[in-house]
Amino acid sequence: MTRAMTSKERVLTTFANQAADRVPINYLANTGIDRRLKAHFGLQPDDSEGLLVALGTDFRNVGASYQGPKLHEDIPERGVKVDDWGIHLRWVEHETGGYWDYCDFPLKDADEKTIANWPMPDPNKHDYSGIFAQCKRHEKYAVCLCCFGDLINGNGMLRGMEQTLVDLITDDPAGLLLADRRFAIQMEIARRTFEAARGGIDVLWLGEDLGTQDRQMISMEIFKRHVRPRYQKLVDLGKAFGARVMIHTCGSSSWAYEDFIDMGINVVDTLQPEAKDMSPEYLKKTFGGRLAFHGCISTAGPVAFGTVADVVKSCRATLEIMMPGGGYCFAPTHRLQDNSPTENVLAMYKTAAVCGRY
């Protein structure tokens, strides 16, 4: 029998494409299901750590909070909230809750001068003083720093998706300047956070949207011209501080995985099994041993729409495919949605705990 590992040991062993004592487990969820899970376990609404412990998760996130002035004014008469990057958000209700959706796209028609002067969070006005303590508090877990980059989706929140894709096709200098400013700020914040952590961060978590359900979102030529060079700098930053690098990519994105391997990326996240060339069988056969995997439990499948028995069957099938030889972390493909029955989510994590042991 494999000896019991700490969460940190378990994740790092898995990220090295080796079998640990059990599969590592992670959790991401929207506010509605998160609130219901905390109530189920008798936790206070703000006890996120208690919920992570109750679900047996192995990851913890750290980050430096922005302490500067508010950079963009809300528009209360329209119910629009504006964040520190200038992204406009409006609340959209649905039958199981609601979410903040992007709107207005204030930089859609902006020129280079406007984008150069657009207020963005200053790395000097983030609080790095508590990072080391956060890492020490979670030292038995795999400590993650999220620095998504998020060229397409992030630019899209400010310029709209159509204009963002046109920018990449036409090398539009305004759109590319927006991407470069955003990446530079995120990279500097990440660098200072790594320095403050003093070796306490294990994983740099990047992210990009590269696929729809059935095809690539962009061509390989555009990926190599615009996406890969910007992310390579982030990968190199993480490696310089001894971190493993994981990248979140939505939809059909395995077409980029050979490049990820060449870039030095260790782990791919999301893994929507319904998307083209994203099934557990395909990923394990094609990339197993060269990339580790994080995700693959669909938030649009049995967890949301099936019975408890359906959830158990689906999760067991994924584990049976992905576990052999190591290299798999059990996690939802995206944040668990509010339409997921509480009992289904509980069954999901119980299955991981029971069936995920080597």
Q: Does pLDDT of 88 surpass 90?
A: yes
Q: What is the pLDDT of residue 217?
A: 96
Is 98 a member of any domain?
no
Is 79 a member of any domain?
no
**pTM across the whole model:** 0.97
pLDDT band at 97 (very low <50, low <70, confident <90, very high): confident
Q: What is the pLDDT of residue 308?
A: 98
Greatest CA separation for the chain:
63
Domains identified in the chain, total number: 1
Is 349 a member of any domain?
yes
Q: What is the pLDDT of residue 177?
A: 98
Is 338 a member of any domain?
yes
* Cβ proximity of 230 and 209 under 8 Å: no
Burial class (CB in 10 A: 0-12, 13-18, 19+), 335: middle
Q: What is the pLDDT of residue 343?
A: 98
CA-CA distance, 316 to 73, in Å (whole number)? 48
Task: Give the three-state DSSP class for 130.
Answer: coil
Q: What is the pLDDT of residue 2?
A: 66
- Which letter does DSSP use for residue 100 in this model? E
Q: How many residues are listed for the chain in this entry?
A: 358
Is 84 a member of any domain?
no
Is 292 a member of any domain?
yes
* Cβ proximity of 260 and 228 under 8 Å: no
Tokens of 90: 């409006």
Is 207 a member of any domain?
yes
The residue ranges of DSSP E strands in the chain, in sequence order, are: 59-62, 65-66, 80-82, 88-94, 97-103, 126-127, 142-149, 203-209, 244-250, 267-270, 292-297, 328-332
- Could you tell me which residues are beta bridge partners of residue 61? 144
Q: Does pLDDT of 178 surpass 70?
A: yes
- Closest by alpha carbon to 325, among 59, 14, 5? 14
Q: pLDDT digits over 227-263, tens only?
A: 999 999 999 999 999 999 999 999 999 999 999 999 9
Is 1 a member of any domain?
no
Average pLDDT, stretch 50-67? Answer: 98
Q: Does pLDDT of 98 surpass 90?
A: no
Q: What is the pLDDT of residue 62?
A: 98
**Mean pLDDT estimate for the chain:** 97
DSSP annotation string for 198-267: TT---EEEEEEE-B-SSSBSS-HHHIIIIIHHHHHHHHHHHHHTT-EEEEEEESS-GGGHHHHHHHT--E
Task: Give the three-state DSSP class for 340.
Answer: coil
CA-CA distance, 79 to 91, in Å (whole number)? 7
Q: What is the pLDDT of residue 35?
A: 96
CA-CA distance, 131 to 137, in Å (whole number)? 10
| Chain center to CA of 325 | 24
The CATH number of the domain holding residue 201 is 3.20.20.210
CA-CA distance, 238 to 211, in Å (whole number)? 25
CB-based contacts of 238, cutoff 8 Å, min separation 6: 190, 194, 204, 244, 245
Q: pLDDT digits over 119-174, tens only?
A: 999 999 999 999 999 999 999 999 999 999 999 999 999 999 999 999 999 999 99
Q: Does pLDDT of 1 surpass 60?
A: no
Residue 301 belongs to what domain range?
Answer: 7-68+107-355
